[in-house]
Amino acid sequence: MQIIETFGHYVENLTDTKPESARRLLKTGWEAQNLKFRFMQDKKLMPADRHLANLMMDTMLKPLQKPEDSVIVSIFTPCEMMQEVGLNPYNVEGFSCYLSASRAERAFLQQAENQGIAETLCSYHKTFLGAAQKGLLPKPKCIVYTNLTCDANLLTFRTLADFYQVPAFAIDVPWQQNEENVQYVADQLRELKGFLEKHTGKTISEDALKKRLASSKRTLENYKKYQQMRADRYVPSDLVTPLYAGMTNNILLGTAEEEHYTQMLLEDIKKAPTAKGKHIYWMHTIPFWSDAVKQELCFNEKAQIVGCELAEVCEPDFDPEKPFEAMAGRMVYHSLNGSALRRIEAGIRHAKQAGADGAVWFGHWGCKHTLGAAQLAKRKFEEQGIPLLILDGDGCDRSHGGEGQTSTRLGAFLEMLNTETDENTDRQEESHDE
């Protein structure tokens, strides 16, 4: 841990005077970490999840290695067309997570605030903006984003486009779910095709796009099947693996690598032991850095995270033969688009699918969409027999951690779940005796 902290300080300090040197240092450190993932793997994880760590690290390294072939995207932007023209998509949330894991986020958060960005803005977005402003992040080829789910998108990506002076494409996604809106978004995606072809000089074949969408569909089907199968299995997990799945199931959809990962999951789950401990379904982002959460849910047979909302935001019910409508439908019918009730109902459905005994609704700092729906979510989950803990914190910024409170509340919640199980068992035994 001391090594990581020292590394993060070096990166932060270098950006003040030598941003290009800081970028090289960051790239070298992450490449070394990737080699560790490849050759010194965490044997406690399933093979698929070890592979996923490499896959995600590769994704975050590419914009540092080949910025001219990179595109900054918002988290739920469909990326199949960008992959088709050889652009490597990466998003604000994923990259900021890695900066935070490197203990290098504090200086960038402060930089953004010094430039007038409100303290209440999402810390993922502030970290990314600050890193761009201080010269750590190289200039991308272009930027593609949507207004989907996150208010910060409209500020962050316009600011980045102005800062880098690169072309940007915004996809407007209406809140209402109907086929008229699907067509409206599909027409924008056809315009995006022209935008990408213009700025890359490459052609996007509709047949090739159909093949990518077919791969996306198989990937999501595999992941859904895996989530259903793990309800009866024990899968040892850390805190970052569910987040990795949440990232790659979005920005890497349509790639052979992501489909292969989900195929590995299906093979691994067949060999997994029977279920142990309490199953916790996690809504929103996970504070992977939190020692309090690690203590309760990291490689713990007594309780483990069995799913994360971010990895299951759309259903594999689209037609790959209509690629633009398929991508548009994923956004319009996205579980985080529209009423908060749609998001909550999807969370309940996926929690039941994974055999969850309880759920955590994580109120990430600055996320109004999540914070505003917390009490409604608690009522709806518990009406369906799934106890829900509302846990406030920050997925990126450690200064908003509240470790003492997190430890107390999460520990008490898990104890409550175990107590309820014991009481139910006692009642069943008494009934049997009678």
pLDDT tens-digit readout, 270-305: 999 999 999 999 999 999 999 999 999 999 999 999
pLDDT above 90: percentage of residues in the chain = 82
- Write down the pLDDT at residue 376: 97
Longest CA–CA span in the chain (Å) reads 78
Which pLDDT score is estimated for 199?
97
Least confident residue range of 68-77, 218-227, 320-329, 425-434: 425-434
In sequence order, which ranges of 272-354 are alpha helices (DSSP H)? 291-297, 323-332, 340-353
| H/E run at residue 306 | strand 303-308
Average pLDDT (391-405) is: 88
Is the predicted pLDDT of residue 373 greater than 90, yes or no? Answer: yes
Once rounded to an integer, what is the mean pLDDT over residues 253-277?
Answer: 96
State pLDDT tens for residues 140-186.
999 999 999 888 898 999 999 999 999 999 999 999 999 999 999 99
Q: What is the pLDDT of residues 201-210, one digit of tens each?
A: 999 999 999 9
Q: Using an 8 Å Cβ cutoff, are 23 and 64 in contact?
A: yes
- Closest to 407 (Cα-Cα) out of 393, 420, 422, 427: 393
Pull the structure tokens for residue 238: 């850390």
Q: Which residue has the tokens 């932060």?
A: 12
Look at residue 365 in the predicted model and tell me its pLDDT: 87
Asked if residue 426 has pLDDT above 50, the reply is no
Q: What is the pLDDT of residue 429?
A: 43
Average pLDDT, the chain: 92
Please give the structure tokens belonging to residue 412. Answer: 């008490």
Task: Tell me the CA distances in angstroms from 120 to 126, 134, 393, one per residue in order.
Answer: 9, 20, 13
Report the DSSP beta bridge partners of residue 71: 89, 142
Asked if the model's pLDDT at residue 423 lies above 60, the reply is: no
- Lowest mean pLDDT of 51-55, 67-71, 249-253, 364-368, name the range: 364-368
The secondary structure element, H or E, covering residue 80 is helix 80-84
Identify the band that residue 421 occupies on the pLDDT scale cut at 50, 70 and 90: low
Beta strands across the sheet bearing 303-308: 303-308, 278-283, 358-364, 388-393
pLDDT score, position 383: 98
pTM of the full structure: 0.92
> Which helix (H) or strand (E) covers residue 388, if one does?
strand 388-393
More confident residue, 122 or 429: 122
Higher model confidence: residue 422 or residue 32?
32
| pLDDT value, residue 318 | 95
Tokens in use for 40?
Answer: 């010194």
The closest of 270, 257, 290 to 364, measured between CA atoms, is 290
Gap between the Cα atoms of 239 and 242, Å rounded: 7
Rounded Cα distance between 199 and 93, Å, is 25
Report whether pLDDT(427) > 80: no
Question: Residue 319 phi/psi, 5° resolution?
Answer: -100, 110
CA distance 127 to 398: 12
Question: In which region does residue 409 sit, left (phi positive, over 0), alpha (psi from -120 to 50) or beta (all else)?
Answer: alpha
* pLDDT greater than 60 at residue 200: yes
